[in-house]
Amino acid sequence: MPTTNASAAARIDLRSDTVTRPTPEMRRAMADAEVGDDVLDGDPTVQRLEARVAELLGKERAYFFPSGTMANQAAVWLLARRGTEVLLDAESHLIQWEHAGLAALAGVQIRAVPAGAGRRVMDAASLAATIRPPSLHAPKASLVCFENTHNGAGGVVTSAADLLAMAEVARAHGLPVHMDGARLWNAAVATGTPISHFADCADTVMVSFSKGLGAPVGAVLAGSSDALADAWVVRKRMGGGMRQSGILAAGALHGLEHQWPRLADDHARTRALADAIDGVGGARVVPPDTNILMVDLPHPVVPAVVARAAAQGVLLSPWTTTRLRAVTHRDVDDAMVHRAGEVIVAALEAELHAAASA
Ligand SMILES: *Cc1c(COP(=O)(O)O)cnc(C)c1O
């Protein structure tokens, strides 16, 4: 639905951190970007972004992609073998939100890994238990994927140590690892762990610039020279070769420099929102690690709560009929999050009280 800036200003949009608009400074950096033809012989600003991200992640090479989805799909194409299985967390973006690209493009089948015992995401034990023993009759696996932070679990951080433990399991079975690190920036800020330590577990890593970093589009796929030997070809085949893409890369570089350090504010605001909501009408928040808040309701009234909040100008994401999601980002400040808390509390009280007495 197209919206004007005037109507956007009146609402508090917590549906996702993808809704951020580029700041005037970011737009200026994009307008001033030095550009070339990146498909023909290279764009200097894209090359600067790729070199910077490769260095940050401690990887040999990096490629700029138009979206995180395309970069994820390219990674699976590069690392997995047709007619085999890819093991990944049951709630991962690659399974839930990429239109079965694993099947449609890479020709692989998913093997969903459940959350570890007492955890919200897969761990080394649940991964090990899901890998099939070698058999003449069962599918072989060819790839393991991680997601960090984990969106569907509520912005959950998996520590670098836990990632390495999972990577050990993968390696013991001869399987390469891809990490969907769309929000790896948040994991680094939340834990103080250098981003390269998180990346150590994986052959390839995707990071996104259009979430908390506030760029309009863009992602990078980084990895070893071996893993990415055919990345340029695969990106072009998928339609991801872009010409004067330095204009987009400049937005990503600006986000890296000016928005990355700011993510701690988003995390603090999400905790404040969680404190305001927890327990209201029996609602339970998933304690947030980063900028994503999941709220579980004792009755299936999420659509009604979301509608009630929207009528007050607060937009939320209906995750299931009993779970809603609220995400903080650059375009909401303390006052807006405080106001959102009041609106959500009122909506929960009204709908959960009605449901309880029905
Ligand atoms: C947003 C997201 C993606 C996809 O990124 P796009 O640039 O929107 O295609 C992939 N993985 C995760 C975990 C995400 O949150």
pLDDT per residue, tens digit, the chain (358 aa), is 444 444 555 799 999 999 999 999 999 999 999 999 999 999 999 999 999 999 999 999 999 999 999 999 999 999 999 999 999 999 999 999 999 999 999 999 999 999 999 999 999 999 999 999 999 999 999 999 999 999 999 999 999 999 999 999 999 999 999 999 999 999 999 999 999 999 999 999 999 999 999 999 999 999 999 999 999 999 999 999 999 999 999 999 999 999 999 999 999 999 999 999 999 999 999 999 999 999 999 999 999 999 999 999 999 999 999 999 999 999 999 999 999 999 999 999 999 998 888 8
Which ligand 1 atom is the nearest neighbour of the CA of 67?
Answer: 7
Closest C-alpha to ligand 1, atom 6? 68
What distance in angstroms lies between residue 72's CA and the mean position of ligand 1's atoms?
Answer: 8
- Identify the bridge partners of residue 292 per DSSP, sorted by sequence position: 327
pTM equals 0.96
Q: Which of 15, 96, 97 to mutate to test the pocket of ligand 1 (most atoms within 8 A of CB)?
A: 97
Question: Residue 63 in 3-state DSSP?
Answer: strand
The backbone torsions φ and ψ at residue 4, rounded to the nearest 5 degrees and listed phi first, read -90, 165
Taking the C-alpha atoms of residue 217 and residue 290, their distance in angstroms, rounded to an integer, is 21
**pLDDT on residue 8:** 54
- Ligand 1 atom with the smallest distance to the CA of 66 is 7
What the chain holds in terms of domains, given with CATH numbers, is: 5-20+262-357 (3.90.1150.10), 33-258 (3.40.640.10)
Residues with CB under 6 A from ligand 1: 67-69, 72, 93, 147, 151, 180, 182, 208, 210-211, 219
**Alpha-carbon distances, residue 103 vs 79, 83, 87, 152, 252 (angstroms):** 14, 9, 13, 21, 30
CB atoms near residue 83 (< 10 Å): 11
C-alpha span between 115 and 92 (Å, rounded): 11
> Candidates 146, 151, 205: which one to mutate for ligand 1, based on the most atoms within 8 Å of Cβ?
151
Distance 168 CA to ligand 1 centre (A): 26
| CA 97 to ligand 1 center in whole angstroms | 8
User: Ligand 1 centre and the CA of 184: distance in Å?
Assistant: 11
- pLDDT single digits (tens) 175-187: 999 999 999 999 9
* pLDDT given for residue 356 in this prediction: 87
Distance CA 161, CA 152 (A): 21
Q: 3-class DSSP state for residue 78?
A: helix
From the CA of 220, how far away is ligand 1's center (Å)? Answer: 11
In the reported structure, the alpha carbon of residue 135 is separated from the centroid of ligand 1 by a whole-number distance in angstroms of 35
